[in-house]
Amino acid sequence: MKAKILTYLKINIPFLCLLCCLATLASFKTMTQNDKIMQQEEPEKFLCIEIYGKKGSNVKVRLNDIPVSELLIENEKGYGNSLTLVNYYAIPGINTLSVYPLSQKGTATIRLVRYNKGEITGENNGETLLKIEIENDDTPIHKKIELSANRKRWSWIDTDIINGKKSKEEAITFSKSFYKIMEQNDISKMIAAADPILNYEILSKPKTSKEKLIKEWTKGLNMVFTEKEIYDDINSISIKLNPIANGKLFEVTREDGSFLFRTSDKNEFPVGFKSIIGRKNGVWKFYH
């Protein structure tokens, strides 16, 4: 198995998923074994979730009830692995790592691991904080770990609990409204709706100004969301709200599980936006 070197390149593309076709979007959160390079400037230490699967193992992993990684191996004799950066999903104090088997075959090893900048990744590298080994069946596994109380406090932690009927109605209204914003190619409103995500970047990279980030997002979004894009009729789409983060956030999809906030499949290369929303101080926005 090849190792990967965690290197921080001088680039900042928080909307990388927007530059890819839909197939890439669907698996963006999972960094697979093809000599991928971690692209971040900060911090000096960071958290990753690694999955190592064998014999056709299929598993999904959540950190603090937020979907962060998934490994699907179609060949029953196949094996593979994934690596996902999870700094934004970790909280000060008690964290819960959850593993959900998606098949009844194969085995998997899941690690929550801390790496230093420039460190080589791999099954035996980094500082293992928590390790789960499973033989796939229908039983989810949840394990807790306490992380430093000095960790950064991401804004999603302080969002409202949104498990009531009124909250769900508001979320649907926001989702339809934002889809219209995408259709209108209103880049400034798209960026405004993603303000918490920009603030994550500022918190992680204090040397980067918000003005610079907004300029980069504006340039990138204008490259991929053009007036030529074809959209679906939002009123014909069945919107599904998947509660995550223990009732603090929704992952918004279509009934078939695909992204809601994307252009139509009629495009040669459909592109999409973020998929997780939450409410804070009465305002709905996108969160990491």
Q: Which residues contact 36 (CB under 8 A, 6 or more apart)?
A: 4, 83
Residue with tokens 């093809």: 34
- Any idea how long the chain is? 288
CA distances (Å), 267 to each of 111, 177, 225, 231, in order?
38, 21, 12, 8
What pLDDT digit, counting tens, does each position of 102-127 carry? 988 899 999 999 999 889 898 889 99
Quick one: pLDDT band at residue 77, thresholds 50, 70, 90? confident
| DSSP one-letter code for 19 | G
pTM of the model: 0.81
Beta strands in the chain (DSSP E): 4-5, 31-32, 45-54, 58-63, 66-72, 79-85, 93-101, 107-116, 120-121, 127-135, 141-147, 239-244, 249-254, 276-280, 283-286
pLDDT digits (tens, 9 = 90+) for 141-163: 999 999 987 778 899 999 999 99
User: Mean pLDDT in the chain?
Assistant: 85
Dist. CA 133–CA 104, nearest whole Å: 14
What's residue 104's pLDDT?
87
Of 151, 114, 106, 149, the C-alpha closest to 130 is 114
Q: Residue holding tokens 């979730």? A: 49
Lowest-confidence region among 1-15, 78-92, 147-161: 1-15
Could you tell me which residues come within 8 angstroms of residue 120 by beta carbon, excluding any fewer than 6 positions away? 3, 4, 5, 6
Res. 204 pLDDT band, cuts 50 70 90: confident
Q: Residue 178: CB partners within 8 Å, gap ≥ 6?
A: 190, 193, 261, 273
HSE-CB for 245 with a 13 A CA cutoff:
24
